[in-house]
Structure 1
Amino acid sequence: MRLSIALLACAVAAPAFAQEQAAPQEAPQEQLFPATLAGHAVLPAFSLIAPPADAPRDLWISGKFTGQSRNETPMSVEGDTGATYGSHKTGISLPFLGQPLQGMSGLAMNRAADGSWFTLTDNGFGRKVNSPDAMLFLHRMQPDFQTGTVTRAETIFLRDPDHKAPFRIANEATDSRYLTGADFDPESIQYLNDEFWIGEEFGPYILRVARDGRLLEVFPTRLDGEILAGPDTDGMLVPAQPGTDFRVQRSGGYEGMALQPETGLLWAMLEKPLLGEDGQPEGDFLRVMTFDTGAGDWTGDSYRFRLTEGATAIGDFNFIDGTRALVIERDNGEGDAAKSCAEGADPAGCYPAPARVKNIVLVDTASRDEQGYIRRIGHVNLLDIADPDGKALPGTSAEGANFSFPFFTIEDVARLDESHIIVANDNNLPFSGGREIGRAADNEFILLSVPELLAAR
């Protein structure tokens, strides 16, 4: 969910480029397309839900293990953004009475019959060790861009009644066997044939889940015939040697997993580069592997996605037709760069690591060079969105300025129609700001008019 790596953009090229030559050492400038704000809706940061009636009592208070020691006193410790981001307080305190709705970590391409979106909440509080009381669930949500509100139509809690997890889960001894953030870190989601397919980071695994939330199957990751593991894979012993004992970086699993229309293929993209034998990143690219949902197995094919200069992670990945897809790429910055801290300044009233790279990239998965790099067609800049009709909600945009989406983790993108895409953030409650210093980031959904981007080839 949190971090990744950077690199040089791979740009627009003639169609013949994909099959005839290797990736160039210096890529030409990629086309930047305009984006216009067509709608804005918010789910407030402090949005909580009650666990199911049969959940263990332990799960009725969440976030008890986010500090240095256990804390069972509700709302007693205020969250902050951490030293890297100025240690700004967020105004919301842990532990929570109930489960937070925070962490919108993926949108499914296929929507529900009523048009609502299936969206995923991640592992809870960012790490395996601090999230054993954070329940795993997904939702049907419907942003209303006329009223600026978001309706939660349904929540589906993940559970393992049939003992499909290949390890002991946090709630192993309970009858309900609800899954938590100590078990899996779900980051990407697709909906197919009344089932969910979830890309997960700890394993990394692909999870097959029934419509009612039951875990049906767990698939480890295979690349070139070998199982990939990370430092948080169950059974990993400490000390472990990066590059030898594990190749997937921490928080480097499936941040994006696209479902290719009419094929049943999942294109699963790792968030960070794999590690080489020397323990260092194998290169400045991200691996993309395909999984056949019908066969329940990896195809053996893998490709590469190149990040632009300054980007450190991807956030989501969704097809818009049979071959073209949208990818979120981002840096690790948070907040308006116009309010960045001067050198040596007290960060109390400024952003020491502001947002500078937040893009939606259009790629063509059928257009690849001989090294497997997927062709980038162009992108829109989420930090420079036109708003001529004043669609931004009050308090979210400076007067006379273009609208910006300057959040740390932007992890949701999908095509709505021929002209529009929907984008949303993961607000990492209560640890991220981005919109306003001293206030926790809300879960914001934006509707963007991007006809030129969606028509590009």
Structure 2
Amino acid sequence: MVTAAALTLGLAATPAVADRAPAGFGQATLTGFAALPATTFVPGSEPSGSAIGAGPFNGVTAPFAHQPVQGFSGVVNRHDGTYDVLSDNGYGNKANSADFLLRVHRVKPDTRTGKVTVLGGFNLSDPDHKVPFALTRADRKLTGADFDVESIVRVADGTYWMGDEFGPFLLHFSATGRLLQAPVPLAGVQAPENPYLNGAQPTLGSSKGFEGLVRGVDGRHLYPLTEGTVTGDTPGDLRFSEFDLCKGRYTGKRFVYRLESTSNAIGDAIAVDRHRFLVVERDGGQGDTAKFKRIYLVDTRDRDDDGLVDKTLVADLLDLANPKGLGGFGTTFRFPFQTIEDLALLDDRTVAVLNDNNFPFSSGRTPGKPDDNEFITVRLSAPLHADQRALR
């Protein structure tokens, strides 16, 4: 690592290098499949979707009588067979998501039956008035017009940190979803939705804030990763900053993650050890138009001294071996969703991957039908040699 001016985390400099699977990693294998139906709603919850139009959208009409269980944009492995999954801002932007309540769901996928069960969850709220700007609701339940939460980690004390795209902000919540402190901004980085712009020009594109959030294996640091390039940076370069939980501030260190194409985006990032992370990179296609959905192992030590972290392709999500025909699919499995935004490390060779189904708008699996929330497990062709703390 070097100083803040030079610290960089990036991908390989050219697609030609990145496309060549390095020694030790070949085709990954699908080992588990389960799905939650798209039209799953929170029982007894409020109506939602009044601002998206009547549709139909992929055969689904709006508004909805209840809150949909959708948009999984972050995941926490609870190590008991269940997972916390984070719903994002709702329907895609501030203007149409004021009646979508931000929520963490507890789910239990069963790859034997292929089903995902929703066990409950909790809404996010700010009853203690930690947010200094106006919120949508007088009861201070947080909505998709307030924040666009896209990433989540749970730390040692059981509280949650989440990455938001509208600020972008880091948000700290209790184990039951109560905001514990004011949103934490990143100096010099402001999206168009940032409430503190005051007429200034944003430095980040809309919905291009903290798409990924890594909990460091040391338990002390977080590493939020932007989805978009900050103004003045090389197009396709994404900032991966270091935040000190003990001091409650950014350290000034950062890395740069270089996308393989400026039209790509990242979906999630998780730690493997002190220097290495797994990152999902994807294009914007779905179904037959999906061409690039990959998981990379990136190394912040930058062994080739190009100012970018080194990158190794470990799984092509459009080309997974499926020898058992899991999910009723053929011997090659594709995960062809527009937004793939959830990674969890299950063991030294297995990752869980989930999609954000953008309900009711995305239809990557079956044209004309809204996507389910799918949960898959993928076995890599070689071990990661992960720090055991990354598996906790």
TM-score where L is the length of structure 1: 0.77
**Of 276, 295, 315, the match for 1:380:** 315
Which 5+ residue runs of structure 2 have no aligned equivalent? 1-9, 388-392
Task: Judge conservation of contact 1:310–1:357 (CA < 8 Å) in 2.
Answer: no
Per-residue deviation, 1:284: 2.3
Aligned residue number for residue 36 of structure 2:
43
Aligned residue number for residue 122 of structure 1:
88
Per-residue deviation, 1:306: 1.4
**Of 50, 55, 58, the match for 1:64:** 50
Aligned residue number for residue 102 of structure 1:
70
The separation in 2 between residues aligned to 1:310 and 1:403, in whole angstroms, is 26
Once the two structures are superposed, the pairs formed by residues 422-437 of structure 1 within 5 Å of their partners are: 422-437=352-367
Instruction: Give the number of aligned pairs.
Output: 374
The separation in 2 between residues aligned to 1:49 and 1:233, in whole angstroms, is 29
Once the two structures are superposed, the pairs formed by residues 256-295 of structure 1 within 5 Å of their partners are: 256-276=212-232, 282-295=234-247
Aligned residue number for residue 274 of structure 2:
322
Deviations 1:143-184 (A, max 9, x none): 11111111222311101100011211001x23xx21100000
Aligned residue number for residue 5 of structure 1:
none
Output the amino acid matched with 1:305: Y
Task: Judge conservation of contact 2:38–2:70 (CA < 8 Å) in 1.
Answer: yes
Per-residue deviation, 1:113: 5.5
Q: CA 1:368–1:126 in 2, change beyond 3 Å: closer, same or farther?
A: farther
The separation in 2 between residues aligned to 1:28 and 1:149, in whole angstroms, is 35
**Of 364, 379, 382, the match for 1:449:** 379
Counterpart check, 1:405 vs 2:369: no
The separation in 1 between residues aligned to 2:208 and 2:182, in whole angstroms, is 18
The separation in 1 between residues aligned to 2:172 and 2:211, in whole angstroms, is 16
Tell me which moved more, 426-435 or 443-452: 443-452
Deviations 1:317-351 (A, max 9, x none): 01123332110000000112xxxxxxxxxxxxxxx
Once the two structures are superposed, the pairs formed by residues 292-307 of structure 1 within 5 Å of their partners are: 292-307=244-259
The separation in 2 between residues aligned to 1:116 and 1:364, in whole angstroms, is 29
Deviations 1:372-426 (A, max 9, x none): 42211223110011111111x23xx3x5x51100000000111111221110100
Q: Percent identity?
A: 40
Task: Judge conservation of contact 1:380–1:453 (CA < 8 Å) in 2.
Answer: no
Q: CA 1:310–1:371 in 2, change beyond 3 Å: closer, same or farther?
A: closer
Task: Judge conservation of contact 1:416–1:422 (CA < 8 Å) in 2.
Answer: yes
Match of 1:326, SS? strand
Q: CA 1:405–1:24 in 2, change beyond 3 Å: closer, same or farther?
A: closer
Counterpart check, 1:132 vs 2:98: yes
**Of 299, 310, 317, the match for 1:364:** 299
The separation in 1 between residues aligned to 2:81 and 2:311, in whole angstroms, is 30
Aligned residue number for residue 255 of structure 1:
211
Q: CA 1:133–1:296 in 2, change beyond 3 Å: closer, same or farther?
A: same
Per-residue deviation, 1:51: 5.6
Task: Judge conservation of contact 1:420–1:451 (CA < 8 Å) in 2.
Answer: no
Output the amino acid matched with 1:288: F
Output the amino acid matched with 2:91: F
Task: Judge conservation of contact 1:377–1:456 (CA < 8 Å) in 2.
Answer: no
What's the Cα RMSD here?
A: 2.3
Aligned residue number for residue 26 of structure 2:
33
Match of 1:77, SS? coil
Per-residue deviation, 1:134: 0.2
The separation in 1 between residues aligned to 2:147 and 2:177, in whole angstroms, is 14
Per-residue deviation, 1:77: 2.9
Per-residue deviation, 1:443: 0.4
Deviations 1:186-241 (A, max 9, x none): 0000001210000000000000000011011234333xxx3421100114356x5x
Structure (1 or 2) with the larger CA radius of gyration: 1
Counterpart check, 1:150 vs 2:116: yes
The separation in 2 between residues aligned to 1:28 and 1:328, in whole angstroms, is 13
Task: Judge conservation of contact 2:235–2:262 (CA < 8 Å) in 1.
Answer: no
User: Runs of 4 or more off by more than 4 Å in structure 1?
Assistant: 23-29, 368-372
Aligned residue number for residue 390 of structure 2:
none
**Of 184, 187, 191, the match for 1:220:** 184
Task: Judge conservation of contact 1:358–1:381 (CA < 8 Å) in 2.
Answer: yes
Match of 2:180, SS? strand
The separation in 2 between residues aligned to 1:166 and 1:372, in whole angstroms, is 38
Aligned residue number for residue 4 of structure 2:
none
Task: Judge conservation of contact 2:18–2:312 (CA < 8 Å) in 1.
Answer: no
Match of 2:384, SS? helix
Q: CA 1:362–1:28 in 2, change beyond 3 Å: closer, same or farther?
A: closer
Deviations 1:70-114 (A, max 9, x none): xxxxxx5311xxxxxxxxxx1211111110111000123xx3262
Q: CA 1:188–1:435 in 2, change beyond 3 Å: closer, same or farther?
A: same
Aligned residue number for residue 229 of structure 1:
190
Task: Judge conservation of contact 1:43–1:444 (CA < 8 Å) in 2.
Answer: yes
Which 5+ residue runs of structure 1 have no aligned equivalent? 1-8, 12-22, 53-59, 68-75, 80-89, 337-353
Deviations 1:101-151 (A, max 9, x none): 11000123xx32624222110000010111000000112222111111112
Aligned residue number for residue 166 of structure 2:
202
Match of 1:198, SS? strand
Q: CA 1:384–1:209 in 2, change beyond 3 Å: closer, same or farther?
A: same
TM-score where L is the length of structure 2: 0.89
Task: Judge conservation of contact 2:314–2:380 (CA < 8 Å) in 1.
Answer: no
